[in-house]
Structure 1
Amino acid sequence: MDFFNSALGKNITFVRPAYFIISGFIGIPNIKYYYVFLFFVYVVSVFGNAIVMAVIYLDHNLRSPKYIAVFNLALVDLFGNSALVPKILDIFLFNHHYIPYNECLAFLFFCFTSLSMQALNLVALSYDRLIAIIFPLHYQVMVTHRFMLSLIISFWVFVITAVLFAVGLLTRLSFCKSVVINSYFCDHGRIFRLACNDNSPSFIIGSLLPVLILWLPLMFILFSYSYIGYALSKVATVQKRVKALKTCAAHLSLVAIYFLPILISFNTNIHPNARIINLSLTSVFPPMLNPIIYVLQTQEIKVSVKKILKIRRKSKIAVQCLCASI
């Protein structure tokens, strides 16, 4: 903090603009069709994640540590898309490109918190799969409800603290030049680069956070599945290998959907408009697909959904019979 304070200076009059201008999608051809797509993605995301959360809450058979992480992922996805998509549609579809200073920082906080928690939640699920396959006899001891809850809560505390710190550093910047943010939301990197005073503390935190929140989680996930693959290669029968891999199919799909678009975005040959579209899809697409993947690829959730639908069908029939008898 002493370094940050000395870099910022003591006698600075901060110039805080009344608003920022979000210009990310302006000028992209046929972009209104993309807004319709975003609205569809949002509706599917809300219903899908709400269903997953409801199924896990209603079915006591899904109260295992793994499904604590799945429930949290659905909650984060619902929270993230609700923070991002309606605001995107309001900004670009209804031409409200001027966003107040404080509202922009709040927008940044909620978007970065949800995106960061998605990555860390995938770490929790990969750890669950690693222990379940490598140490199946010790799974009940190593992955308990208390452990998973503690892990999820620690991720929330870390992410909220880190993002609040990053936002706090932005309030120490002066904006006496442009206030146009060339992104689809209040992007941290785009904002601090607009500052006309020393932005090195924000640059440092902006370089450090992706390592802690994106690249280290990805490395842990890749290490986990490399170790799982090595362990499965020692298994004698192909049937056992396939059975073990099936338990990882849903999680591997989530990892690919989340990280591949981010890796593609780092390709310098991508057109700027294509990069903005790709990054926005990175933000909104995984929350829509996550519940679909878990419902289709996880046997326990499919059985639970069928059970709940069957109970509701029986209750409707019982009500109809009661009404008919009356």
Structure 2
Amino acid sequence: MEPVSRKQITKTYFFKMALVPSNHTNSSSLYFSLMGIPGLEASHVWMGILFCSMYIIALLGNSMILLTVRLDQTLHEPMYYFLCMLAVIDLVMATSIVPKMLGIFWLNSVEIAFDACFTQMFFVHSATAAESGVLLAMAFDRYVAICYPLRYQAILTHQKVTQIGLAILLRAALVMTPVTWMMKHLPYCSSNVIAHSYCEHMAVVKLACADPRASSQYCVVGSTLIVGTDTAFISVSYGMILRAVLRLAKKEARLKAIGTCGAHLCVMLLYYVPGMASIYTQSFGQGVAHQTQVLLADLYLTLPPMLNPVIYSMRTKQKRVFKLFGQRKSLAEPSV
């Protein structure tokens, strides 16, 4: 007997799901089928190796930051608390999509339950919105530290940091819950095959039978408002920081002040540039190859979680997060 190809399985599943009546498509017993990266099926195994490596690095790097800040009392400062928030969000973001992606790439596990799909969508959107909020909080932290160093501890108390963190989570949930709710209550009566490696909003929207413009427009406008508002305040913060730095008399002091912001600026560029490129390519990039759109969306959710710990560790003071483990190891090893 001739073996059944992946393409034939997908087509068979597509046909079976197409027969499901439209008034039953919102049942939790139904499934979507994720295609991975359409057009690059032959490379799925190698793609899996790439994303698995990125995921492992992200897990190790962000977990190391969390554990080290927890163990080292000298790192219990607002700057490192915000860094821990960023690490948690990065872990949530990567974990929301990579395990399922690896199942698709390596095990041909293409099915995802209806409710699980929208749960994944909620966590992905909420994590991206929360990360933008944390980047804004980190910019505010640098602004206070450089412009008001004597009042830093009084302004950014532990209570204030906790309130900022809760506000970031609340904003992300309030803005992104309507997107998931609207998407879940749309009828899906034709194809249930998602041409993507995870339940990306625009990829799922294309499967709806009803007019999805309200959901699509809300997602684009909501994302633009969050990113636009946050980047505007970040720009104002760094404008004030730059003005304060230029007033410093000593060149060494100016370089040190600018250096403390370098890692944060790199992380912001790494997050916002591919993020907005992914959003607008999915929405308006009809001339961009679909596999390019999918790859860009996948990298947007996996590259920052992998590189953020690396970028922060390159700063002199942040290297303590990694050096601490070397010190603990050397103390634990018996002397010869």
How far residue 147 of structure 1 moved from its aligned partner, in angstroms, is 0.9
Q: Which amino acid is the alignment partner of residue 329 of structure 2?
A: R
**Larger displacement relative to structure 2 (122-131 or 112-121):** 112-121
1:231 lines up with 2:225 in the alignment: no
- Residue 54 of structure 1 corresponds to 67
**Larger displacement relative to structure 2 (206-215 or 75-84):** 206-215
**Cα 1:21/1:233, change in 2 over 3 Å:** same
**2: CA distance, partners of 1:188 / 1:219:** 25
**2: CA distance, partners of 1:270 / 1:233:** 43
How far residue 291 of structure 1 moved from its aligned partner, in angstroms, is 1.1
Q: What secondary structure sits across from 2:112 in the alignment?
A: strand
CA RMSD of the aligned region, Å? 2.3
Query: 1:171-320 to 2 correspondence within 5 Å?
Result: 171-265=184-278, 266=280, 268=285, 270-299=288-317, 301-303=318-320, 305-317=322-334
- Residue 14 of structure 2 corresponds to none
- Confirm or deny: 8 A CA contact 2:132 2:227 kept in the other structure: yes
Q: What secondary structure sits across from 2:143 in the alignment?
A: helix
- Confirm or deny: 8 A CA contact 2:44 2:105 kept in the other structure: no
How far residue 42 of structure 1 moved from its aligned partner, in angstroms, is 0.6
| Number of aligned positions between the proteins | 307
**Cα 1:102/1:303, change in 2 over 3 Å:** closer
How far residue 86 of structure 1 moved from its aligned partner, in angstroms, is 0.8
- Confirm or deny: 8 A CA contact 1:69 1:125 kept in the other structure: yes
1:205-258 Cα shifts (integer Å, max 9, x gaps): 213320233232222222322332233233333222211011111111111111
**2: CA distance, partners of 1:228 / 1:160:** 31
- Confirm or deny: 8 A CA contact 1:261 1:282 kept in the other structure: yes
**Cα 1:271/1:198, change in 2 over 3 Å:** closer
Using the size of structure 2 for normalisation, the TM-score is 0.83
- Residue 8 of structure 1 corresponds to none
- Residue 34 of structure 2 corresponds to 22
**Larger displacement relative to structure 2 (188-197 or 284-293):** 188-197
- Residue 100 of structure 2 corresponds to 87
**2: CA distance, partners of 1:162 / 1:264:** 20
- Confirm or deny: 8 A CA contact 1:24 1:184 kept in the other structure: yes
Give aligned-pair identity as a percent: 27
Q: Which amino acid is the alignment partner of residue 22 of structure 1?
A: L
How far residue 303 of structure 1 moved from its aligned partner, in angstroms, is 3.1
Q: What secondary structure sits across from 1:174 in the alignment?
A: coil
1:44-85 Cα shifts (integer Å, max 9, x gaps): 111111111010000000011111111111111122212211
**2: CA distance, partners of 1:210 / 1:184:** 21
**Cα 1:71/1:15, change in 2 over 3 Å:** same
How far residue 288 of structure 1 moved from its aligned partner, in angstroms, is 0.7
Using the size of structure 1 for normalisation, the TM-score is 0.86
- Confirm or deny: 8 A CA contact 1:122 1:255 kept in the other structure: yes
How far residue 200 of structure 1 moved from its aligned partner, in angstroms, is 4.1
- Residue 8 of structure 2 corresponds to none
- Residue 324 of structure 1 corresponds to none
- Confirm or deny: 8 A CA contact 1:68 1:149 kept in the other structure: no
1:159-204 Cα shifts (integer Å, max 9, x gaps): 1233232212222211112223222211123223422224344234
Unaligned runs of 5+ in 1: 1-11, 322-326
Unaligned runs of 5+ in 2: 1-21
**Cα 1:50/1:231, change in 2 over 3 Å:** same
Q: What secondary structure sits across from 1:236 in the alignment?
A: coil
- Confirm or deny: 8 A CA contact 1:20 1:179 kept in the other structure: yes
**Cα 1:41/1:307, change in 2 over 3 Å:** closer
How far residue 263 of structure 1 moved from its aligned partner, in angstroms, is 4.0
